[in-house]
Chains A and B, each alone.
Chain A
């Protein structure tokens, strides 16, 4: 019994990962857009589980908070408003599933190209470490959020700020697009 539970505990990452993949498959395969969004929510929660299994609590919670709690709600909001009833519209929605397989294959190829050392190499994957001077007086395993914040705001401040500018550009772009459509 105890052995069984421990085995499950050790393989949490794999379990959540398989569940997330299943959710993602349903996103593509489902015929109803709302079901797709629900499956997407499930996949997002499972990815949060993956983060938790890797002891990255902060990332896991941020995943739930941002994706499950915010972004997917907006998806759902839009999908509910755009009700797909006519057969022709349905076909347009279904079109994407033909390209989805190609996209998945491409994604897998890109992923394995980037992480081929981790996957096929002899070296075991190593946790990303904070530079010594930043990690001072901090128990990284215990104080996840603090470690992430030190990394973001002290170690990698410039890339972080540039990223936020990119997001801002996207926001402004969305506003501009929506406005021209209405006029």
Chain B
């Protein structure tokens, strides 16, 4: 295979970025739709079945169309999907209000910080080890060049992910402060305390894979966690996964830990004063963060781009014939796991009521951190003894 020149490698990286953004912007709206539908079914109703407004205009036309198509049985389930389009239109077209007493610069930059830190994490995540695809020979300028499964192969990828994700807290805190209003400030302060607290057990639970694999590179860790751990490695992996997922829920401010925006306490928390696309950015960032947390859980605990979770693949692969399709890595497995975890988010949201604020903090400091430390000890023991 030819080695790319500098310009070509920059072009390839740009293409990878576009692909990742496309992936995110396909997954996020579908998650929003799935949230409406799944929550609906959990509460024994249908979920969204039509575009919000009446019978006239564009939405009326979309409504009529979807109800007509909906007579075909499978499609009937998707009747609510034009509602997403209407939602996006609403976000873009709504008036962008800046409160008179707001700090304008900080008010402007807060949603951007949230969004950027959520998206940039994807730089270190590799969807499949090695080459993802090779450009066909007719492609202008890039013919025959390989595209790897992740944007950047960073030696300290895990630290990159944790570091950049931890910058995301500024978006929420600054939004709360810049609005210059009671409820956002309370929401911002709550989230600062909550996110900083939950970062600790989250990082410690991710140290278990680091100890088990002896690497900080996302691709390498995923590969060794999926195929290289012993049978004893199962225990710290399962515990670590549960701790990580709990912390992940708290880090993304999702129910049952959605303190920063608890509707019936704080109106809408940190984004009370936001409207239009600025609010849209917070909304997007929340869902992108969910995708990121799911991707990390999938990569480190659920076997990455291999089929079986918790290192079972490595044990099963000995029984499989060499080169079997299900023994190898495929991007489709990785994406499927991400989607399953996103479903879990919605499932938990529909099942568990919100914690009280002091309970949230005591869960982090009194239970999750000690549990995560014990898990780390277990992982170290497995690494040394077995």
CA distance A96 to B162 in the complex (A): 34
- CB pair B166–A70 under 8 Å, yes or no, is yes
CA distance A73 to B196 in the complex (A): 8
How many chain A residues touch B (Cβ–Cβ < 8 Å)?
30
With a cutoff of 8 Å between Cβ atoms, the chain B residues found around residue A34 in the complex are: 103, 106, 174, 177
CB < 8 Å neighbour of A76 from B160, B164, B192 = B192
Q: Tell me if B's interface is mostly helix, strand, loop or mixed.
A: helix
CB < 8 Å neighbour of B7 from A2, A62, A65, A73 = A2
CA distance A80 to B177 in the complex (A): 7
- CB pair B163–A38 under 8 Å, yes or no, is no
A69 at the interface (CB under 8 A from B): yes
- Give min CB distance, A3 to chain B, whole Å: 10
- CB pair A69–B185 under 8 Å, yes or no, is no
Known contacts: A1-B7, A57-B154. The answer to whether A35 contacts B106 by CB under 8 A is yes
- CB pair B164–A64 under 8 Å, yes or no, is yes
- CB pair B174–A38 under 8 Å, yes or no, is yes
Known contacts: A73-B196, A142-B155. The answer to whether A80 contacts B169 by CB under 8 A is no
- CB pair A69–B173 under 8 Å, yes or no, is no
- CB pair A62–B196 under 8 Å, yes or no, is no
Q: Could you tell me which residues of chain A, from 65 to 118, have a CB within 8 Å of some CB in chain B?
A: 65, 68-70, 73-74, 76-77, 80-81
With a cutoff of 8 Å between Cβ atoms, the chain B residues found around residue A48 in the complex are: 163
Most buried by B among A65, A77, A143: A65
CA distance A41 to B199 in the complex (A): 18
7 tightest CB-CB pairs across the interface, nearest first?
A69-B166, A64-B163, A61-B159, A65-B163, A61-B156, A57-B156, A80-B177
B positions within 8 Å CB-CB of A? 5-7, 10, 103, 105-106, 109, 154-156, 159-160, 162-164, 166-167, 169-170, 173-174, 177, 185, 188-189, 192-193, 196, 199, 216
A to B CB contacts below 8 Å, 13 in the list: A35-B106, A57-B156, A58-B155, A64-B164, A65-B159, A69-B162, A69-B167, A70-B166, A73-B196, A77-B173, A77-B192, A77-B193, A144-B156
